[in-house]
Amino acid sequence: MPRPCVEPGPRYAKGHCCGDGFLLLLDPDDRLCLSEAAVRALCDPHGGLGGDALLRLVRTRRGRLPGRPRGDWFADVRDPDGFPALTCGPGLGLVARYLTAADLARPGRIWLGTRAGDARATVDAGGRTTVELPPARVLGPSAVTLDGHTFEGTTVSLGGLHLVCPTELPVPGLDLTHEPRLDLHAFPGTTGVMVPDVTLSFVNVLPSGRLRVRVHRPRVGRPPSCGTTVCAAAAVVQHTAGRRQGTTDVESPSGPLSVTLGTNAPTLLTGATAIAAEGVLDARWLAAL
């Protein structure tokens, strides 16, 4: 007896941008309803495909998406714990690379919709991607306690809240297994008793002027990198040095990144981007999640 015909699952792609690895799901007709458990399973490197985040790509012309996006695609960004995220700079860079390579978008600057608003990304011929993020707003001082040691820092808004802590201690050796305790009273603009969704980073300024950044994200832990946090770190270092604009280079496991900041101008994050694999998900496996 012939086996029943099973509709194929969605197309996926895996790749990296600016030091972070991502899983992309192509869902042009907005048919997938991904639970938090499904996202966790997909991002699991052992039971699923693995990824520092998942981005579901939906065509914006359906009219069911937030705001009035300028581009043809909306990126539904999910952290690996399954929770929705406002945006993800490196993730958008990989989306731009994938869409242009798959002839789903014209080469050059691409507008992409996110929960934080529209963003642009540009892919050059050499495979490096530049993502335009919101202007970095330096808010004020704060602090965090980690394993009994207090680190003074500065809060920054880049679509989400960041606490950047420059330190003389070598950041690769910091023990981030203990949950950091934030100084909530020092966060400008936060109210109530709820813990703000803050991404924490520790930063070394190297003799060359480059930055070395160690990241801790709420509920996620220690990703190898985080493009938006790298931009926040560059903003704090430049602000401390009395500079309001300029380019800062940052070390990354995948190669050097650069962050360009300007007065009332988008924050530009540039780094290497590549697609490692493409395929089709098993529809029955996905449905079982």
Q: Annotated active-site positions, please?
A: 88, 226
Tokens linked to 24: 């992309």
Cα 43 from Cα 45, distance rounded (Å): 6
Put residue 154 in one of left, alpha, beta given phi > 0 → left and psi -120 to 50 → alpha. beta
Residue 79, Cβ density class (10 Å: 0-12 exposed, 13-18 middle, ≥19 buried): buried
Element (H, E) at 98: helix 89-101
Residue whose tokens read 């360009």: 260
Angle (nearest 5°) at CA 208 between 205 and 214? 35
3-state secondary structure of 176: coil
Helix, strand, coil % over all residues of the chain, rounded to 5: 15, 40, 45
> What is the distance between the alpha carbons of residues 236 and 256, in angstroms, rounded to a whole number?
19
Q: Which two tokens stand for residue 45?
A: 């490197």
Yes or no: say if 260 and 247 are a contact pair by the CB < 8 Å rule. yes
Q: How far apart are CA 180 and CA 214, in angstroms?
A: 13
